[in-house]
């Protein structure tokens, strides 16, 4: 199995990368979907506050790698991209189960990410600037910075959408060519 795991702050471009990944034949799994699913299972709306609370509660109750552990049974294809790793503990879970792992970091500045999140209208996106920075601090507390430090490669996403898609396609093709 060839597994690519992405790490990036909210609004960095991970959702766009999923589309590119699918176009090059990768199956995908969004770790955030697991959290939103659990939030709905509890009868809560998938707002930023509710999703954050559920994610934190599950990490406190079951350990920092809980979401990666819950993702494992869903990783059934031979070539997959897992979107949204949030900690070095999650990277460790994936590395333990899949020796052939590539951690791909996606970087965008806070200003760029806030502008994107303000315009995309997802229910769990931060509203104002203070909420945006609160979300960043929460993600950093979970260990996303440590996961980022473990990245095997990086895409900087500060340009146009077309530039990002071209760069992402080139990076994914390069990663996938390593398996031959």
pLDDT at position 1 is 79
CATH, residue 151:
3.40.50.300
- Residue 160 main-chain phi, psi, to 5 deg: -80, 165
CA distances to 10, 20, 33, 39, 59 from 54, rounded to whole Å, are 17, 29, 12, 6, 9
Cβ atoms 153, 104 nearer than 8 A: yes
Domain hosting 109: range is 2-177
Q: How many domains does the chain have?
A: 1
Query: At 129, which helix (H) or strand (E)?
Result: helix 129-142
Cβ atoms < 10 Å from Cβ of 42: 11
Query: pLDDT in tens for each of the 180 residues of the chain?
Result: 789 999 999 999 999 999 999 999 999 999 999 999 999 999 999 988 899 999 999 999 999 999 999 999 999 999 999 999 999 999 999 999 987 899 999 999 999 999 888 887 665 555 688 888 988 998 999 999 999 999 999 999 999 999 999 999 999 999 999 854
Cβ atoms 63, 87 nearer than 8 A: no
């Amino acid at each position: 199995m060839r597994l690519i795991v992405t790490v990036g702050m909210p609004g960095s471009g991970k959702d766009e990368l999923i589309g590119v990944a699918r176009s090059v034949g990768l199956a995908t799994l969004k770790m955030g979907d697991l959290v939103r699913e659990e939030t709905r299972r509890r009868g809560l709306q998938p707002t930023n506050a509710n999703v954050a609370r559920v994610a934190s509660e599950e990490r406190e109750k079951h350990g920092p790698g809980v979401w990666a552990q819950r993702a494992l049974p869903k990783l059934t294809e031979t070539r997959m991209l897992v979107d949204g790793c949030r900690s070095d503990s999650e990277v460790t879970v994936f590395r333990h189960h899949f020796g052939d792992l590539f951690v791909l970091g996606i970087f965008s500045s806070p200003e760029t990410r806030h502008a994107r999140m303000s315009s995309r209208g997802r229910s769990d996106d931060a509203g104002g600037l203070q909420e945006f920075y609160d979300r960043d601090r929460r993600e950093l507390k979970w260990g996303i910075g440590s996961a980022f430090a473990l990245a095997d490669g990086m895409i900087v996403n500060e340009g146009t959408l077309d530039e990002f898609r071209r760069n992402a396609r080139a990076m994914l093709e390069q990663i996938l060519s390593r398996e031959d």
